[in-house]
Amino acid sequence: MSDLFPLTVRDAVASRQGKRLVGPVNLDLSGQGACVVLGPNGSGKTTLLRLLHGIARLNKGQITWSCPKAEAQRRQAFVFQHPVMLRRSVLDNLAYPLLLRGVPRKSAQTEAAKMAERIGVSQMLDRPARVLSGGERQKVSLGRALICKPDLLFLDEPSASLDGRATREIEDILQSAKSAGTALILATHDMGQARRLADRVVFLLGGQVHEEGTATDFFARPKTQEAAAFLKGDIVEC
């Protein structure tokens, strides 16, 4: 387990234009394995992830890591639902985070080529990343996030709108990252994916943590009616 954790969230609130998006949220995460954030649309999953990673700003409350915030941010990475590809080749997209950290271009490209091999895009290294298919883009985005060996990886619905095969490939990469010791915090709508990947589950409703616990308990014995309804596939409103 990384010394990034425990992650402590206290009374965290995020609002935009007077509307509360998330909060107050209280959460303690130990950073073991994968924590899956579940909840219906508009429940605040994406906002919570962005708050934890520091892309979005808190209006109230605090988020504390066991190391200084700047250090914590440097050891995390984020994969967005809609992958942003730099206007560069696949190889240069993968090498980019290393170049930012001052790794010489040649070494960065060697590392990038190894990562491409690992994520299955080695046959398209010289292609412009922006012409790739959705699944390929997401794999490149995942490789780019993993290339600096982060202690924690945030994933915002990484396989939304991908087909079964692409989803399986993404999950394989995530499983191997998890085995290598990278903690995952993943927001998803895909219940199958949540069951396959989760060690812990945070269930959000109306911007607040409605239920939290181990994946085994959550899926077998949900404590609240709303969580049970959500698991059954019923419509749960925020």
Partner 1 sequence: MGDLWQGLSQAFWLVLSADAELVEIAFRSLRITVSALVLACLIALPLAALLAVRRFRWRRAVIATLNALMGLPPVVVGLIVYVLLSRSGPLGALGLLFTPTAMIVAQMIIIVPLVASIAHQSLRDLWQEYHDLLISLNVTQRQKIATLLWDSRRALLTAALAGFGRGIGEVGAIMVVGGNIDNYTRVLTTAIALETGKGEFALALALGFVLIALAIAVNLVIHWLGRTEREGAW
CB of 83 to partner 1, least distance (A): 9
Rg of the chain on CA atoms, in Å: 18
In the complex with partner 1, the residue whose CB is nearer, 75 or 223, is 75
Q: Could you tell me if 76 and 151 are in contact, meaning their C-beta atoms sit under 8 angstroms apart?
A: yes
Q: Look at the chain and count its residues.
A: 238
In the complex, least distance from residue 145 CB atom to partner 1, rounded to whole angstroms: 8
Closest to partner 1 by CB, 65 or 80? 80
Which neighbouring-strand residues pair with 8? 28, 64
CA distance 51 to 46: 9
Residue 64 CB, nearest approach to partner 1 (Å): 18
Q: Bridge-partner residues for 77, per DSSP?
A: 153
14 Cα distance to chain centroid: 19
Torsion of CA 19, 25, 31, 34, to 10 degrees: -60
Q: Supply 142's token pair.
A: 């995942």
Strand partners for 231 = none
Residue-wise DSSP of 61-102: EEEE-SS-HHHHHHTEEEE-SSPPPPSSBHHHHHHHHHHHTT
For the bound state, the minimum distance from the C-beta of residue 67 to partner 1, rounded and expressed in Å, comes to: 14
Q: In what order do the strands lie in the sheet with 7-16?
A: 19-29, 7-16, 60-64
Q: Which residue, 65 or 78, is less far from partner 1 as judged by CB?
A: 78
With respect to partner 1, which residue has the nearer C-beta, 56 or 238?
Answer: 56
Between 78 and 230, name the residue whose CB sits nearer to partner 1: 78
Which residues sit at the interface with partner 1, rule CB under 8 A?
53-55, 73-74, 77-78, 80, 84, 86-88, 96-97, 100, 128, 130-131
Residue closer to partner 1, measured from CB, 78 or 203 = 78
- Shortest gap between Cβ of 95 and partner 1 (angstroms)? 12
For residue 14, the minimal CB distance to partner 1 (Å) is 15
